[in-house]
Amino acid sequence: MAGTTRILERREIDVCGIAGWVDFERDLRQERRTAQEMTGTMACRGPDDEGLWLAPHAAIGHRRLAIIDLAGGRQPMTAPEEGREEGREAAVLTYSGEIYNFEELRAELEGHGHVFRTRSDTEVLLHSYLQWGEDLAEHLNGMYAFAVWDPRAEHLLMVRDRMGIKPLYYYPTAHGVLFGSEPKAILANPLARRVLEMDGLRELLAFVKTPEHGILSGLYEVRPGQVVRVSRDGIVKRRYWRLSSREHPDDVSSTVKTVRELLDDIVTRQLISDVPLCTLLSGGLDSSMVTALAAKLLREQGLGTVRSFSVDFTGYSENFKPDLTRSTPDTPYVHELARYAGADHSDIVLDSAALMDPAVRSAVLRARDLPMGIGDMDTSLYLLFRAIRGHSTVALSGESADEVFGGYRWFHDPQSVAAETFPWLASPATAAHAGAERLFHDDLLRLLDLPGYRAERYRQALEEVPRLPGESGHERRMREISYLHLTRFVQILLDRKDRMSMAVGLEVRVPFCDHRLVEYVFNAPWAIKTFDGREKSLLRAASADLLPDSILQRVKSPYPATQDPGYDEALRERARELLELRDSPAGRLVDRAKARATVEEPASPGSRAALERFVQLHYWLNRYDVGLAL
């Protein structure tokens, strides 16, 4: 399959942010300033160009990072009504992302009589709407979030990719809707109330990532694989894609062969770029496979080699201490793979001063919008992406392979598998993140009833799992666990990746989220997924010709966290300062005695997570002037 797609094709890259407002009762042509303010909040996602389209009942905004074909790819993009002069639009599109099968779609649409004026995938997407209407999403392969306003029908369509790689939020109003790539675009409109209610606080703390839940009162996410239509009749939601269960017809060798063929095709498609491209390399199986395969494909077509980047911390490898989740440091494996694959590699080395820099932490929290970060791992990822952005505009990541192939340790821990909850909540490896509420007042914790909330969300998630007739026992349970990860846990990581990368204008692609691969591997029996008695058996076998044995055999190690005591001390000092503020909204939530005791106790993953959450809440409640309605 790899030979069917050219690796390099000159075209636009849409590293973008979108925003908009539909109101069926007011003339939005008189609301240019507010619409511009909404669009302007997305400048980090698209610093080079801004577009705003206004009509009586729709304001459609777009921010773009211009690479090539600036005029041809400008947005919002309009399609004139057939047989009419310019200015009478049939559709108006604002779009962020990449359509990887745009060349095939363009050829198909030309067969239907469509004529193209640009070489952008934006125009292909616009014509796809003209051809297929609301059903266009079923034709797409890519990562995308977009909105189409149809002036003829007076309705808005909001569409998100199948795995939720690109974010899209909306806020229903009395007479329409506000929408944006991030909540900050919506919150720039005075119609959006900035209120945190009890249910939002529960979701903020529960570590379960409920689909569609936007945390703030009245705010929603478009669910992955969903189309949301807004008209005078109200809001209608439709799932155009969801995981389904079916018999897996292949044996182990055929499954490995198919996985490799899919990955060859996926990575080939995602190497298409006319701007500097790189890979994110950790020395683990996932990122090493992507890096080695990219290097091989580029070399075969005489296009040189691939650049790769990794994150490291000052003194980390020399002073590394194994913990519950990390048995080895990354750097030795990173360097070995770079040499083996012939990658042009660079380490980005960070220190605690950079991780605790107030300006950097402020930028990270602003990029997040919501206080759901993972502390220093967010900050280091932001700094890594910022450094990479000086060399590359597009990066390929190994993100999501653990969810697809079953790589996390709790997939293979009998107690976590048997627990009647989300398995990551039952694992000691992630217990600290799930217990970040430990500083809260006891009375508030009783009202929140987080155990009850998690149990209810777990029950709802299990009800969604597509069942395979005749499947029972361990295979049935592992299908449930795979589903929970592919619809909940992966969203936590994809959201983090998107926010940190787009805050610096870097597009990060995730080959393992291609829906064809996800669907195929989801239906492979667990016995095939673990045929060699280990995690990620299928991916390891599919990568055997690309990687050295040391990396093929390396045990899963997650994204690194700093082990520098200086970081924890700086975090404790910041928490001490905030606890002295008598008017801090976050201070209303926490028990100051508990918080002071936690500040003084020896550093641990639990204390770090609790203090990080307290600092994040303080920043968020103050920065966005969020009201508490608890």
Candidates 413, 448, 439; CA nearest to 618 is 439
φ/ψ bin of 369: left (φ > 0), alpha (ψ from -120 to 50), beta (otherwise): left
Question: Can you tell me which residue has the tokens 């039952």?
Answer: 426
Residue 477 contacts by C-beta under 8 Å, 6 or more apart in sequence? Answer: 417, 418
Distance CA 106, CA 282 (A): 36
CA dist list (Å): 319 to 289, 328, 554, 618: 28, 11, 20, 33
User: What SS3 state is found at 590?
Assistant: strand
Question: Is 82 exposed, middle or buried (CB count within 10 Å of its CB: 0-12, 13-18, 19+)?
Answer: exposed
Distance CA 300, CA 302 (A): 6
Distance CA 395, CA 559 (A): 16
Cα dihedral across residues 286, 7, 3, 341: positive or negative: negative
Taking the CA atoms of residue 445, residue 448, residue 453 and residue 454 in that order, the dihedral angle to the nearest 10 degrees is -30
Among residues 16, 44, 278, 513, the one annotated as catalytic is: 16
Distance CA 170, CA 229 (A): 11
Determine how many CB atoms are found less than 10 A away from the CB of residue 66. 16
Determine how many CB atoms are found less than 10 A away from the CB of residue 159. 24
Residue 173 tokens read as 């109003």
Residue 158 tokens read as 């909001």
278 is a catalytic site residue = no
| DSSP H or E run through 564 | none
CA dist list (Å): 167 to 13, 95, 101, 156, 415: 17, 11, 20, 17, 34
Q: CA Rg, the chain, in Å?
A: 24
Q: Which amino acid is at 476?
A: R
Distance CA 431, CA 216 (A): 25
Candidates 404, 398, 397; CA nearest to 162 is 404
Distance CA 38, CA 362 (A): 20
Helices of type H across 390-514: 401-405, 414-418, 431-434, 442-448, 450-464, 473-484, 490-502
If you write DSSP's letter for every residue of 15-28 in order, what string do you get? EEEEEEEEESSS-G
Residue 620 tokens read as 């968020």
Candidates 471, 516, 47, 432; CA nearest to 241 is 516
Question: Is 459 exposed, middle or buried (CB count within 10 Å of its CB: 0-12, 13-18, 19+)?
Answer: exposed
Beta pairing class for 89-99 and 142-150:
antiparallel
Candidates 66, 91, 64; CA nearest to 80 is 91
Side-chain half-sphere exposure of 286, counting CA atoms within 13 A? 26
Any idea which residues carry the catalytic annotation?
Answer: 16
